[in-house]
C-alpha cells in the first residue's frame, strides 16, 4: 500500500458530566486523530494519551511531537503495511500511544483497501460485546447511588467505581447494599501505597470482581504481597505495558486479571499478543477504555470481540460520555454494543461535526 500524506488533528469533545478519578477531573476529552491518506485508501486512528502525564508518562502533546518528528519519518510511503510500520517503530523507545495511533490508522486503511473488517482480521468470534460502565467519584454517596441506578436502568452489565483514600469502602458498601449482587469492581488508578494493605483488605466483604491497580505501576512486588493478603482478585492496568510485563506480573503473583488497552501496550499487534498470552495461560482479561471518541471505540470493540476477553469491559455507549461524538454513536442494546462490520474499523468521522470540534490540524507530506 502507498501513502501520500498524514494529517494530525486535535479534537476537543465536551463530556456529558465531569469524570473524576484518583488522577484528575476531566470536563472534556481532547484527542489526537491520525488520518493516513493514499491512492488506495484512507485510514483513521486515535491516540489514547491524556493531556497530562498522570495515567502514563506520555501526554497528548508529546505523542503529537513523537508522531511528527520521529515515527512518521520512519515510514516508507511506497511500501506501507501494519507489519512494516511495526518493525520500523520498534527501535523507538517509549511513546506506545503514539505508535498505537499510527498503527491503527494503517490497519484501517489497509483493511478498507481489502474490503475486510478489523474485527474479522483480528479473529473476532462475537458480533457484539457486553458493556460495562465506569463511574467516577462524586460529591456524595446519594449522588453516586443515583448515577449507578441510572446506568443499571439503561442496561449496563457491570459497574466499576473509581476510588481513592477517603472515597472507597463507604461508597462501595452503599452501592452493594442498594443494588445487591450487581457485578461490581473498583479502580484505584494507583492511589494507594504499601501502608494501605490492611485497609484494602476491607474490600473483601463486598464480593467484588476485582480491585484494579491499587498500587504504583512499578510496584509489582507490592501487588504480589497484597494479593497474598486479600481475597479480592487484583487486576493490573497501568503496570501492563507489554506482554513481557504481563508475564512478569503473573509469574510474581502480582495479579490474576489483566486489563488490555491497545494504546497502553503500543498497538493492536501487541494487544493481540497479550490476549493470546492470557488465553494460553487461562488468565481472565477484559478490554479497557480511555474515554475514546468513536474512532478509538470502534477499534476497541473489534479487539474486545476476541474470545479471550471473558470479562465485561469498559466499552460503554457513546452517550455515556458525549452528547455529540465525531462518528455516528455506538448505542447500548440489551447491555451490549454491536461490533462494526464495515471495512477497516467500520466507522469514520462526520465531516461537519469533526470540523466543529477540531482545535488544530497539521498536514505531513510523505
Written as one string, the DSSP assignment of 270-282 is HHHHHHHHHHHTT
Residue 261 bears catalytic tag: yes
Cell numbers 461535526 correspond to what residue?
353
What is the per-residue pLDDT for 19?
83
Q: Is 270 exposed, middle or buried (0-12, 13-18, 19+ CB in 10 A)?
A: buried
Provide the pLDDT for residue 266. Answer: 97
Long-range contacts of 122-125 (CB under 8 A, 24+ apart): 122/268, 122/272, 122/302, 122/303, 122/305, 122/306, 123/272, 123/306, 123/307, 124/302, 124/305, 124/306, 124/339, 125/305, 125/306, 125/307
Residues 19, 364 contacting (CB under 8 angstroms): no
Torsion of CA 268, 273, 277, 283, to 10 degrees: 0
Side-by-side strand order, sheet with 234-236: 133-135, 159-162, 184-187, 211-212, 234-236, 257-260, 285-287
Q: What CA–CA distance (Å, rounded) separates 277 from 188?
A: 25
Which cell numbers in the block locate residue 282? 487461562
Selected catalytic residue, list 99, 160, 162, 225: 162
CB-based contact 184:172 (threshold 8 Å): yes
Q: What is the pLDDT of residue 70?
A: 98
> Is residue 160 among the annotated active site residues?
no
pLDDT at position 40 is 85
Q: What is the pLDDT of residues 114-140, one digit of tens each?
A: 999 999 999 999 999 999 999 999 999
If 0-12 CB within 10 Å is exposed, 13-18 middle and 19+ buried, where does residue 182 land?
middle
Among 279, 224, 269, 216, smallest CA distance to 248 is for: 224
Residues with Cβ < 8 Å from 305, sequence gap 6 or more? Answer: 119, 122, 124, 125, 126, 127, 128, 129, 339
Domains of the chain by start residue, with CATH = 5-115+349-365 (3.30.390.10), 120-338 (3.20.20.120)
Is the CB of residue 226 less than 8 Å from the CB of residue 197? Answer: yes
- The predicted pLDDT at position 27 comes to 87
Distance CA 347, CA 299 (A): 9
| Integer angstrom CA distances of residue 184 from 122, 153, 158, 180 | 29, 15, 6, 10
Contact 68, 362 (CB under 8 A): yes
Which of these, 329, 295, 336, lies nearest to 16 by C-alpha position? 329
Residues of the chain with pLDDT under 50: none
For the CA atoms of the chain, what is the radius of gyration? 20
pLDDT at 109: 97
Query: Which is it for the CA torsion 68, 9, 131, 227, positive or negative?
Result: positive
pLDDT, tens digit (0-9, with 9 covering 90-100), for 313-352: 999 999 999 999 999 999 999 999 999 999 999 999 999 9
Beta bridge partners of 160: 134, 185
**Grid cell listed for 40:** 488506495
Distance in angstroms (rounded) separating the CA atoms of residues 19 and 241: 24
Q: Give whole-number Cα distances, 79 to 91, 107, 148, 285, 325, in Å.
A: 19, 14, 50, 35, 33
Backbone angles phi, psi at 118, to 5 degrees: -60, -40
Amino acid at each position: 500500500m502507498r501513502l501520500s500524506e498524514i494529517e494530525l488533528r486535535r479534537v476537543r469533545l465536551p463530556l456529558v458530566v465531569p469524570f473524576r478519578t484518583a488522577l484528575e477531573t476531566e470536563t472534556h476529552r481532547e484527542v489526537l486523530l491520525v488520518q493516513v491518506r493514499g491512492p488506495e485508501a484512507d485510514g483513521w486512528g486515535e491516540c489514547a494519551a491524556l493531556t497530562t502525564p498522570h495515567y502514563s508518562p506520555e501526554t497528548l502533546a508529546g505523542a503529537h511531537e513523537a508522531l511528527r518528528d520521529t515515527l512518521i519519518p520512519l515510514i516508507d510511503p511506497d511500501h506501507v503495511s501494519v507489519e512494516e510500520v511495526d518493525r520500523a517503530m520498534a527501535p523507538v523507545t517509549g511513546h506506545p500511544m503514539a505508535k498505537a495511533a499510527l498503527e491503527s490508522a494503517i490497519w484501517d486503511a489497509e483493511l478498507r483497501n481489502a474490503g475486510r473488517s478489523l474485527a474479522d482480521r483480528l479473529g473476532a468470534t462475537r458480533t457484539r460485546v457486553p458493556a460495562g460502565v465506569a463511574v467516577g467519584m462524586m460529591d456524595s454517596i446519594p449522588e453516586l447511588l443515583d448515577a449507578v441506578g441510572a446506568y443499571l436502568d439503561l442496561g449496563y452489565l457491570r459497574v466499576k467505581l473509581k476510588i481513592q483514600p477517603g472515597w472507597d469502602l463507604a461508597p462501595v458498601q452503599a452501592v452493594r447494599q442498594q443494588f445487591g449482587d450487581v457485578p461490581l469492581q473498583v479502580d484505584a488508578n494507583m492511589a494507594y501505597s504499601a501502608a494501605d494493605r490492611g485497609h484494602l483488605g476491607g474490600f473483601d466483604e463486598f464480593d467484588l470482581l476485582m480491585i484494579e491497580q491499587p498500587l504504583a505501576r512499578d510496584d509489582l512486588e507490592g501487588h504480589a504481597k497484597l494479593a497474598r493478603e486479600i481475597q479480592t482478585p487484583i487486576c493490573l492496568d497501568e503496570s501492563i505495558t507489554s506482554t513481557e510485563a504481563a508475564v512478569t506480573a503473573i509469574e510474581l503473583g502480582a495479579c490474576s486479571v489483566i486489563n488490555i488497552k491497545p494504546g497502553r501496550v503500543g498497538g493492536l499487534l501487541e494487544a493481540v499478543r497479550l490476549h493470546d498470552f492470557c488465553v494460553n495461560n487461562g488468565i481472565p482479561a477484559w478490554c479497557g477504555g480511555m474515554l475514546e471518541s468513536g474512532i478509538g471505540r470502534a477499534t476497541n470493540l473489534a479487539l474486545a470481540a476476541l474470545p479471550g476477553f471473558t470479562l465485561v469491559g469498559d466499552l460503554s455507549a457513546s452517550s455515556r460520555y458525549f452528547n455529540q461524538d465525531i462518528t455516528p454513536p455506538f448505542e447500548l442494546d440489551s447491555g451490549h454494543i454491536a461490533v462494526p462490520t464495515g471495512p477497516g474499523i467500520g466507522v469514520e468521522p462526520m465531516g461537519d461535526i469533526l470540523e466543529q470540534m477540531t482545535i488544530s490540524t497539521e498536514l505531513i507530506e510523505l
